[in-house]
Amino acid sequence: MKHTCPPIPYGRHWVDQEDITEVVNVLRSDWLTTGPRVEQFERQFAAAVSAEHAVALCNGTAALHAAMHVLGVGPGDEVLVPAMTFAATANAVLYQRATPVFVDVEPETLLIDTTDAQRKVTARTRALVAVDYAGQPCDYDALNDLARRHDLALVADACHSLGGTYRDRPVGTLADVTVFSLHPVKPITTGEGGMLTTMHASLAARAGRFRNHGIVQDLHRRQGDATWFYEQTELGHNYRLSDIQCALGISQIRKLGDWVTRRNQIAARYHQALAHHPAIEPLHVKGGVVHAYHLYVVRLTGAAGAARRESVFRALRASGIGVNVHYIPVHLHPYYRNHEGTRRGMCPAAEAAYEQILSLPVYPRMRNAEVDRVIETLLDILAEYRTFAA
Ligand SMILES: *Cc1c(COP(=O)(O)O)cnc(C)c1O
């Protein structure tokens, strides 16, 4: 079969003329980095998620690292991390010389299994990271309860779920610290970028220092008595986000509401066409949440398991459909097996899901005709596969 249609990616940014104008204005201004746009973007981002404080960082991974730092995670500490996530979630724990302890996920949602998390709490556990996998907010009432009972800090890795809500409360306000990614496939983009939100002024101030070498910015004092004066009070990094990038973010965040709505429409279209298929199981969505649908993930069920997923994946790619697999469970990566002593069998539900999952394309600019092309191609491939396997 010949395919003349352009390929459909699994995710894609949307940059329009308004975005371009905002960025070009900054290029013509006096500030390329750490000027007025950073604070403006932080204010607008905080307002968009109803958080008290927002701190812009150079990417989501740096924001995760900052989260670990401001919560005081350090050598000897353990941090509970779900196995089904991008490696950066656990890497941030290692950057602080602490130990990630992998927690299994619920098979129907691939969100952190609170029972398994509870079981893995020890005297050394310092923090718990919730990952809003695919864009679905975790059960934050249960997680906050668990965190309070064991005196743990709760971090939300909300890299997928900007624009989502849990029991009418926006993602960004549901944990002690929430972390977002602004990479082009994520809900909004600044090229590379990240954001940390919190309700605690002291944590926000500490994150602000951490992204700038650990330097205390006492601007009043600098402008008043000694313009050259600054002090480094702790060890930080250069994790800053530039004015150029923040200008793009300011323009992008205005579109967030419409884009989450569009992602939900696409998900509903997939769901209607696929949910009753005997070999397809979309992930379960719990009541009381607005799902941000960074990803639309299905499980390919039935006898052939991983072999079937592999052949369906290849056939879709060959037809120009950019499917993907999110994620290889982190504890199975060679680095973790070799350096952290993790092994297969530690998180059986995540491992089993990994053999079956497939992320279908979803991005705000995707048209219904493209969604339908994905659906038809997938159904054709499954029908062929069934005939072939029989
Ligand atoms: C994208 C992502 C990150 C890392 O964000 P970057 O901006 O790419 O550094 C971390 N965690 C999850 C769950 C992600 O999807």
- The helix (H) or strand (E) run that includes residue 281 is strand 280-282
From 10, 86, 131, 328, give the residue whose CB has the most ligand 1 atoms within 8 Å, as the site to mutate: 86
Residue 270, preceding bond cis, omega within 30 degrees? no
Cα dihedral 274, 279, 280, 283 sign = positive
Q: Which amino acids bring their CB within 6 angstroms of ligand 1?
A: 59-61, 85-86, 88-89, 131, 157, 159-160, 181, 183, 194
Ligand 1 centroid–CA 88 distance in Å is: 6
DSSP-derived secondary structure letter, 370: H
| Band of pLDDT at residue 384, cut at 50, 70 and 90 | confident
Q: Which of 1, 15, 4 is nearest to 365 (CA)?
A: 15
Q: Look at ligand 1, atom 7, and give the residue with the nearest C-alpha.
A: 60
Query: What angle do the packed helices 368-389 and 256-274 form, to 10 degrees?
Result: 30
Ligand 1 centroid–CA 358 distance in Å is: 18
Cross-sheet strand order for the sheet of 169-170: 169-170, 165-166, 289-290
From 13, 79, 85, 89, give the residue whose CB has the most ligand 1 atoms within 8 Å, as the site to mutate: 89
Query: Locate tokens 């960004």: which residue?
Result: 172
Atom number in ligand 1 closest to CA 88: 10
Ligand 1 centroid–CA 328 distance in Å is: 14
Strand partners, 197: 54, 178
- SS3 assignment, position 245: helix
Which ranges in 121-239 belong to alpha helices (H)? 140-149, 201-210, 219-223
Q: Which of 206, 208, 203, 180 is nearest to 193 (CA)?
A: 180
Q: Which of 156, 103, 88 is nearest to 349 (CA)?
A: 103
Q: Percent of the chain, pLDDT > 70?
A: 94
Which ranges in 55-197 belong to alpha helices (H)? 60-70, 87-95, 114-119, 140-149
Query: Locate tokens 């909300």: which residue?
Result: 158
pLDDT in tens, 197-220: 999 999 999 999 999 999 997 666
Q: Look at ligand 1, atom 6, and give the residue with the nearest C-alpha.
A: 60
Ligand 1 centroid–CA 186 distance in Å is: 8
Atom number in ligand 1 closest to CA 131: 13
Give me the pLDDT at residue 5, please.
81
Phi, psi of 83 (to 5 degrees): -70, -30
pLDDT in tens, 25-62: 999 999 999 999 999 999 999 999 999 999 999 999 99
- The residue ranking higher by pLDDT, 386 or 259, is 259
- Helix-strand-coil percent breakdown of the chain, rounded to 5? 40, 15, 40
Q: Look at ligand 1, atom 14, and give the residue with the nearest C-alpha.
A: 159
Residue 166, preceding bond cis, omega within 30 degrees? no
Cα–Cα dist 375/275, whole Å? 11
Atom number in ligand 1 closest to CA 62: 9
Cα dihedral 72, 76, 80, 86 sign = positive
pTM: 0.96
Q: Does residue 306 surpass a pLDDT of 90?
A: no
- Other beta carbons within 10 angstroms of residue 185's beta carbon come to 17
Cα–Cα dist 146/50, whole Å? 24
